[in-house]
A and B are shown apart, each in its own frame.
Chain A
Amino acid sequence: DAGVTQSPTHLIKTRGQQVTLRCSPKSGHDTVSWYQQALGQGPQFIFQYYEEEERQRGNFPDRFSGHQFPNYSSELNVNALLLGDSALYLCASRTGGAGGYTFGSGTRLTVV
């Protein structure tokens, strides 16, 4: 059973460009969250999607937006990239109840 799948694994973008990262949740999971992890830091919550709606949002600017599709997969979009957006972007999924999240291996974004 595949876990959480993220694509691409690595990406290099130029400052000012836009980027889209993709996530397929673990089979049976309907809730998807996105995290940003800068080098040497713990992951920081960006937002969570459930039933195709953004349910919770962390302290990130509107340049960060997302979408969840009917098949529960999700996209993270970042506009007007800044050098400081360089990080590992993690997608996590879960289903209802108190259980833990399953995380993907992440997309390493480098902004130059």
Chain B
Amino acid sequence: DAKTTQPPSMDCAEGRAANLPCNHSTISGNEYVYWYRQIHSQGPQYIIHGLKNNETNEMASLIITEDRKSSTLILPHATLRDTAVYYCIAANAGGTSYGKLTFGQGTILTVHP
């Protein structure tokens, strides 16, 4: 799996958009970009994933650069409950080959009132 690099911490004001960057310059063509978050003392929560195109769901948007070497997770209106560790992961998808998620240190996002 390709290595990902994220800033160790970020701050965001409540109600504003939180933009979390991730670098994955060695990502291979069949690897997806996945985002998970982990709130203290809970298991990680899946947020969103994408391969080439930008993706949006009820939780967030994922913007992937054309060369796929980096991506940005956007939480459009951050709330205090979005305070968590956010993990960006590059992994193969589909079938039994998709098993291993390599978690790094992630980005600690703190949303302030």
Asked if A42 CB lies within 8 Å of chain B CBs, one says yes
Asked if A68 CB lies within 8 Å of chain B CBs, one says no
If the complex has contacts A90-B44, A92-B43, are A100 and B103 also in contact, measured as CB distance less than 8 A? no
In the complex, number of A-B residue pairs with CB atoms less than 8 Å apart = 74
If the complex has contacts A42-B106, A96-B94, are A101 and B46 also in contact, measured as CB distance less than 8 A? yes
Residues of B within 8 A of A55 (CB): 96, 99
Asked if A61 CB lies within 8 Å of chain B CBs, one says no
Asked if A7 CB lies within 8 Å of chain B CBs, one says no
Smallest beta-carbon distance A7→chain B, Å: 14
If the complex has contacts A42-B106, A45-B101, A45-B102, are A97 and B94 also in contact, measured as CB distance less than 8 A? yes
B-to-A contact residues, CB < 8 Å: 32, 34, 36, 42-49, 51, 85, 87, 93-106
Closest 9 CB pairs of A and B: A100-B46, A42-B103, A48-B99, A103-B43, A98-B93, A56-B99, A45-B100, A55-B96, A103-B44
